[in-house]
């Protein structure tokens, strides 16, 4: 099931997003998850923690899926 995540800015960076939704307790943990290839953005493994996410983008981590609205 896709979880909707509302942002109030134009974009959010991937590492900020992981912390915002509670996937990573700290920025360092989020960075490591990204570097380990555990995070997909729009279906593709994303290795850049500064990747900008916009409305309509999807993020998948483990068995959780998010869409930014």
pLDDT at 1 over 90: no
11: domain CATH number is: 3.10.290.10
**Structural domain range at position 51:** 2-68
Tens-place pLDDT, residues 36-56: 999 999 999 999 999 999 999
Instruction: State the pLDDT confidence band at 65, using cuts at 50, 70 and 90.
Output: very high
pLDDT at 27 over 90: no
Which residue, chain included where needed, has tokens 């959780």? 64
What per-residue confidence (pLDDT) applies to 26?
85
Percent over 90 (pLDDT), the chain: 87
Expressed in angstroms, the distance from the first to the final Cα of the chain is 15
Cβ atoms within 10 Å, residue 33: 19
Considering its fold, how many domains does the chain have in total? 1
pLDDT at 35 over 90: yes
């Amino acid at each position: 099931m896709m979880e909707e995540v509302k942002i109030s800015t134009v974009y959010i960076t991937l590492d900020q997003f992981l912390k915002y939704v509670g996937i990573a307790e700290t920025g360092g943990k989020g960075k490591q998850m990204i570097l380990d290839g555990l995070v997909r953005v729009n279906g593709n493994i994303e290795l850049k923690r500064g990747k900008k996410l916009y409305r309509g983008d999807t993020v998948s981590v483990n068995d959780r899926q998010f869409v930014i609205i």
